Amino acid sequence: MIRTALVTGAGGGIGLATAIRLAADGIHVLATDVKPRPADLPDDMDYVPFDLIGGHPADLLDKLGGAALDYLVNAAGVALFDRDGSALDTDETVWSVTLGVNLHGLRHLTTAAVPLLRRGQGKSIVNVASTAGRVSRANSGAYSASKFALIGWTDALSLEEAPHGVHVGMVLPGFVPTEGFPQTELRQKALTRLILSSPEKVADAIYEVGPGGRSERYVPRPYALAAYLRVLAPRLVRRVLGGGAASTFTPATPRR
């Protein structure tokens, strides 16, 4: 029996790489993003433009024709940084859009999709969070807050859906160059290029968490150390990060 996956954020970056990765395993993928269909998406893959903030989840799920859903991958997200905005002064539009996409939009879609997942074979949800959801930097308060909230919601959802046989996991990428978040400064130096990953590696991690059944994965794996240190040595982490503000890049398109 053919398995079916719904992948958000598939207009580029991690979402696109994930859609291609799942399709390579024989999974029927319904890909979606707020952007038009990307040229890199295979011609035989279904694609539906969808706005997580303004769209109605039922309209998107109707494209499945009433079929059960095996995998939901919430890879869509935005990383908007207000050039001069601190955690106190970030523009309200940045807060609204960031929380709207990174938390509330995928929450509404997931809520609508759960009944279909409970009838599926794979019964798996993967939320793409971020290492920034464990360790925050200066000038990235809205983004980190959205990912911290997503992680907490994912943990709760995992416990609640376990009795229904639905596995809920997450992937926490570090710095991943994408169209919406090119990581230009980090790519310019040989040393900092070592801490970068790729959308394809994140897609492999999503596969491990979704069909593979793992609880969570950091990408690259050593990024988990930052999360551990945040708990074990919070003062040290704050001292290290004290001199480094977040990028002032303000993308016009979703990061994922």
- Say what the pLDDT of residue 188 is: 52
- Say what the pLDDT of residue 182 is: 55
219 beta partners: 173
Two structure tokens written together for 106 = 């995928």
Burial annotation 215-238 (CB, 10 A radius, 16+ → b, else e): ebbbbbeebbebbeebeeeeeebe
Q: Cβ of 66: how many Cβ atoms within 10 Å?
A: 7
- Say what the pLDDT of residue 241 is: 84
Establish whether 207 is a catalytic residue.
no
Q: What is the pLDDT along the chain (256 residues), one digit of tens a residue?
A: 789 999 999 999 999 999 999 999 999 999 999 999 999 999 989 999 999 999 999 999 999 998 899 999 999 999 886 655 678 878 889 999 999 999 999 999 999 999 999 999 989 999 999 999 999 888 888 999 999 999 999 999 999 999 999 999 999 998 775 665 655 555 555 544 445 668 899 999 999 999 999 999 999 888 898 889 889 998 988 888 885 434 433 333 344 4
Burial annotation 9-47 (CB, 10 A radius, 16+ → b, else e): bbbbbbbbbbbbbbbeeebbbbbbbbeebbeebeeebbb
237 vs 255: CA distance, rounded Å: 25
74 vs 126: CA distance, rounded Å: 6
**Coil, helix or strand for 50?**
coil
47, 71, 143, 218: the active-site residue? 143
Decide if 147 contacts 133 (C-beta within 8 A). yes
Task: Identify the structural domains of the chain with CATH numbers, from first to last.
Answer: 4-241 (3.40.50.720)
- Say what the pLDDT of residue 251 is: 38
- Say what the pLDDT of residue 137 is: 83
pTM exceeding 0.85: yes
